[in-house]
Amino acid sequence: MKGIAIALAAAALMTLDATAATQPPAPCSAPQARQFDFWIGDWDVFEDGKLAGTNRIERYYGCVVHESWKSPELTGQSLNVFDAKRGVWHQTWVDSNSSLLVLEGGWKDGALTMSDATLPGKKDPKRVNEITWTPNADGSVRQHWRQSTDGGKSWSTVFDGKYVRSKRPQPA
């Protein structure tokens, strides 16, 4: 009887070890899940030297980077997350003009770059949006959004903003 109990206990331990070995990694454990941390904060955003709006970037649920944009013309939000299974960053943007923009990408040439070039279900496959977020040495961030209407052969800038950490009083 004692031998059976020992054998059952050993089998249970082996099952636990095997289960632990096959458990998926904890959320946010991939180093890439922190690549967008440079964008977290409260920002005044300038385009052509003029205040274009304000942006608050916060981390939610451990992994999600949440954006809240405000300008006189537009309010909007995005949810950004690193999809560890596919190895890509994903952004979904919605705004007060009922716009929807879905982007995916990753770290490339010193910037986080996302695009809708390869996403299925686009109404116009020749229209491509690409946004890069580049951390600067002075602590600011450049966000450059460009668009192509010919499948990426030529590009025009939609927005080229410089994010500067806000000096506004923050809510408690």
Domain count, the chain: 1
Q: How far apart, in whole angstroms, are the C-alpha atoms of residue 75 and residue 52?
A: 12
12's tokens: 């249970």
Q: How far apart, in whole angstroms, are the C-alpha atoms of residue 72 and residue 78?
A: 18
Q: What pLDDT is stored for residue 15 in this prediction?
A: 44
115's tokens: 């695009």
**Residue 18 lies inside a defined structural domain of this protein:** no
Q: How far apart, in whole angstroms, are the C-alpha atoms of residue 77 and residue 94?
A: 6
Kindly report whether the global pTM for this prediction surpasses the value 0.85: no
The answer to whether 165 touches 55, Cβ cutoff 8 Å, is no
Q: What would the pLDDT profile of 54-104 be if each residue is shown by its tens digit?
A: 999 999 988 899 999 999 999 999 999 999 999 999 999 999 999 999 999
Percentage of residues of the chain with pLDDT beyond 90: 71
**What is the domain extent for residue 123?**
31-165
CATH number at residue 66: 2.40.128
The answer to whether 77 touches 66, Cβ cutoff 8 Å, is yes
Q: What pLDDT is stored for residue 123 in this prediction?
A: 82
**Residue 15 lies inside a defined structural domain of this protein:** no
**Residue 8 lies inside a defined structural domain of this protein:** no
- Asked if pLDDT for residue 46 goes beyond 90, the answer is yes
**Residue 5 lies inside a defined structural domain of this protein:** no
Q: 3-state DSSP call for residue 60?
A: strand
Residue 170: pLDDT band (50, 70, 90) is low
Higher pLDDT, 87 or 14: 87
Residue 19: pLDDT band (50, 70, 90) is very low
124's tokens: 């116009």
**Residue 88 lies inside a defined structural domain of this protein:** yes
**Residue 75 lies inside a defined structural domain of this protein:** yes
**Residue 12 lies inside a defined structural domain of this protein:** no
Q: What would the pLDDT profile of 125-152 be if each residue is shown by its tens digit?
A: 899 999 999 999 999 999 999 999 999 9
Percentage of residues of the chain with pLDDT beyond 70: 83
Higher pLDDT, 12 or 130: 130
**Residue 95 lies inside a defined structural domain of this protein:** yes
